[in-house]
């Protein structure tokens, strides 16, 4: 069994104990296979430098999954429609697809060579029926009627400043959906800035959670945003405007 490999032997017990969730053997096999896929594709496409050792198991897999611990521990049989914005090398999207068998994932990135690689990895992992790739700017995704207001969970990790990410994610949520913003260090000023940005989007910060990653990999913050009402049709704004004029930061922002 692949769990006997050095990486798996090192992380299989301690890492999952820290997370509070244990993958089934087939899921662990997929996570190991994903690491191997990343190694292979990195030789052709610069997807990520976080491939070996704790770069992969902590900074990629653990960091993708820890905010979703409650979901992992109490899985639902109902389909969970998720979208990962700015997926890059496939995180958190592919890790969530492996850990949550009921999840249907849409992964968005504007770099064609990355979306092609991630689509190929999903195929190799047996996830092609639950993982769909879109190569486009997310401002366009948020205005597509097939995506807007459609998702139970919208995620973004290491994409842009929080007010910018909020404008990307909130228009994608259905009426009960939540947006998950993965952040690093986070303080009161950051929160005030995000809350200002959420007002015109008709959304609010539902909860936040902070933790230290294992092995001294740094502080992480998970921010859960929920819609207070239908997102106004003017959001997201045209391509480039959310990052150039973030919401809540002056008269040009709104």
**Phi, psi at 13, each rounded to 5°:** -90, -55
- pLDDT for the residue 1: 33
Helical residues (DSSP H) of 13-111, grouped into ranges: 14-19, 25-42, 53-56, 63-65, 69-73, 93-99
Burial of 196 (0-12, 13-18, 19+ CB in 10 A): middle
Phi, psi of 138 (to 5 degrees): -70, -25
Residue length of the chain:
254
Q: Is 68 exposed, middle or buried (0-12, 13-18, 19+ CB in 10 A)?
A: buried
Reference 38, options 92, 117, 110; nearest CA is 117
User: Exposed e or buried b for every residue in 126-139, given b needs 16+ CB within 10 A?
Assistant: ebeebbebbbebbb
- pTM to 2 decimal places: 0.91
Q: What is the pLDDT of residue 175?
A: 92
- Strands (E) in 167-248, as ranges, are 173-183, 203-212, 219-227
**How high is the pLDDT of residue 80?**
94
How much is the pLDDT for 4? 44
Q: According to the model, what pLDDT value does residue 76 have?
A: 77
The pLDDT, as a whole number, for residue 67 is 97
User: What's the pLDDT at 43?
Assistant: 82
Helices 162-169 and 188-201: crossing angle in degrees, nearest 10, is: 30
Per-residue pLDDT, 2: 40
CB-CB contact of 21 with 65 (8 Å): yes
CA distances 195 to 166, 178, 230, 237, Å, are 10, 15, 17, 18
* H or E element at residue 123: helix 112-124
> Residue-wise pLDDT tens for the chain (254 aa)?
344 455 555 556 788 999 999 999 999 999 999 999 999 998 888 787 778 878 899 999 999 999 999 999 887 778 899 999 999 999 999 999 999 999 999 999 999 999 999 999 999 999 999 999 999 999 999 999 999 999 999 999 978 999 999 999 999 999 999 999 999 989 999 999 999 999 999 999 999 999 999 988 899 999 999 999 999 999 999 999 999 999 987 544 44
């Amino acid at each position: 069994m692949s769990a006997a490999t050095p990486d798996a032997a090192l992380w299989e017990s301690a890492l999952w104990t820290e997370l509070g969730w244990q993958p089934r053997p087939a899921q662990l096999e997929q996570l190991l296979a994903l690491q191997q896929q990343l190694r292979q594709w990195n030789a052709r496409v610069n997807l990520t430098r976080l491939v070996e050792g704790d770069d992969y198991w902590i900074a990629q897999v653990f960091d993708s999954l820890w905010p979703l611990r409650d979901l992992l521990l109490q899985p639902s049989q109902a389909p969970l429609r998720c979208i990962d914005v700015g997926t890059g090398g496939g995180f958190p999207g592919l890790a969530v697809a492996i850990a949550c068998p009921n999840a249907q994932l849409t992964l968005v990135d504007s770099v064609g060579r990355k979306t092609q690689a991630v689509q190929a990895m999903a195929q190799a992992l047996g996830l092609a029926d639950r993982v769909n790739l879109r190569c486009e700017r997310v401002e366009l995704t948020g205005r597509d009627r097939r995506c807007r207001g459609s998702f139970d969970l919208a995620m973004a990790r290491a994409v842009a400043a929080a007010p910018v990410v909020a404008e990307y994610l909130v228009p994608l949520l259905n009426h009960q959906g939540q947006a998950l913003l993965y952040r690093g260090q986070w303080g009161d000023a950051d929160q005030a800035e995000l809350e200002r940005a959420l007002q015109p989007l008709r959304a609010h910060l539902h909860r936040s959670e902070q933790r230290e990653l294992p092995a001294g990999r740094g502080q992480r913050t998970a921010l859960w945003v929920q819609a207070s009402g239908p997102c106004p049709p003017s959001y997201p704004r045209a391509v480039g405007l959310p990052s150039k004029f973030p919401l809540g930061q002056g008269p040009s922002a709104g």
